[in-house]
Amino acid sequence: MSTATKAHGMNGTLVEADWPPLTLAEVRVLLGQFPGCGEPIEILSVSPRPFSAASVVAKNSGQVFIKRHHITVRDREGLLEEHRFLIHLRAHGAPVPKVFRASSGETAIMSGEWIYEVHEVPAGVDLYEDALSWTPFLSTAHARSAGETLARLHLSSHGFDAPPRKARPLVSSFTIFAADDPAAALQRYLAMRPALAENADVREGCREALELLDPYHAQLRPLLPALKPLWTHNDLHASNLLWSNTGDDARAVAVIDFGLADRTNAVHDLAQATERNIVEWLDLTQQPERENDVRVHLDHLLALLDGYVSVRPLSDAETYALAPMTALCHAEFALSEAEYYLGVLHSEEMARLASIDYLAGHARWFRGAGGDKLLNAIRYWAETRRRID
């Protein structure tokens, strides 16, 4: 653990970082493996994201973005799953960063217990650099542009037919509620992740979430066959976009951070973007007794959805699937976070937050007045779109 840097905590505060920050000395050794990359001269930023160490590094010939993972979080094959997707997206016009290759031809560079990746720094302003997940857009124009950008990303993703990712921490998959029998699918999910299966808080969070989310799965189930598999980003928060300027009218110009990407479907990804940006979940974390006071930004919701369909229209089935999917989409990432805290950091306290407060707590919220407000707004939008189309 490092005391030199702070990271975003699950409760909205800055906490001690899980991983030590990158140093100029290790960056110099790393970049020496990349021909023509230049000499690093300064670490310009230290990312507050909690699951890895990452920095923008100035060189004598420009800048690069470097991320370092512990091999218990990402091994070589895990990173290559992401890199192959990024390479496909760039080849099909998506505004995503280039992944650099070392002289060995590798994009995932092993060194002891660490693995590194080196990306270009895309043009654009990191307007939400310090924004936590679950904090809102700064304007409806930003929300609309995010929706347009996500739709373009989905169009670029077509033709990438890699299988779903292997079981690993910190991936936002969609298998449990994609099944006819979520309880059986959950048991298969846990069986592949012994650290979760053996934890009492996880089992309790799963039991409660399954019961609370069952009505939404019942709504989604008949629509599932129409949701075509697609590799997706699964974390399109405003902070994973770079912007044209700092104004309220800024446009998204690049998409970054594909660590949660997996083969899900377009509706799942759009639901994740809704869940990440429209509901101020930190209100619930900080005052769980006031769940009806959680802020929901319906103006941003409508802008996000309208922006999306202006680029990639949804089918009727996709449109009607969006409301129940929004209630369900958080489940597997919550479990994946719990796996990270149990299997990597060995923190039962943090795993409890992920499984009881996040997995089950968000499911409880969706069954209350706040969830009704959000899901009814999506349903009304869906009906309106059907009449327009």
Query: What's the Cα-to-Cα distance from 17 to each of 43, 205, 345, rounded to whole Å?
Result: 17, 26, 12
- 118 Cβ partners below 8 Å, 6+ apart? 30, 31, 34, 37, 64, 65, 66, 99, 100, 107, 109
pLDDT of residue 291: 82
pLDDT of residue 38: 85
Euclidean distance between CA atoms 5 and 155, whole angstroms: 38
6-120 and 140-388 have identical folds: no
**Per CATH, is 140-388 categorized as 3.90.220.20?**
no
Residue 95 · residue 233 · CB < 8 Å: no
Question: Which residue is it, tokens 């969830």?
Answer: 371
122-169, pLDDT tens digit by residue?
Answer: 999 999 988 877 789 999 999 999 999 999 999 999 999 999 999 999
- 32 Cβ partners below 8 Å, 6+ apart? none
pLDDT of residue 4: 41
pLDDT of residue 10: 56
pLDDT of residue 293: 86
pLDDT of residue 389: 57
Helix extents (H) in 261-368? 266-278, 281-286, 298-311, 316-328, 331-339, 348-352, 361-366
> Domain coordinates of the chain in residue numbers?
6-120, 140-388
HEC string for 60-109: CCEEEEEEEEECCCCCHHHHHHHHHHHHHHHHCCCCCCCECCCCCCCCCE
207-251, pLDDT tens digit by residue?
Answer: 999 999 999 999 999 999 999 999 999 999 999 999 999 999 999
Superfamily of structural domain 6-120: Phosphorylase Kinase; domain 1 (3.30.200.20)
pLDDT of residue 3: 33
Question: Rounded to two decimals, what is the model's pTM?
Answer: 0.94
Ordered mean pLDDT values, 10 residues apiece, the chain (389 residues): 48 73 96 90 91 94 95 96 98 97 97 97 92 88 98 98 94 97 98 96 98 98 98 96 97 97 98 96 84 92 98 97 98 97 96 96 96 97 79
pLDDT of residue 1: 30
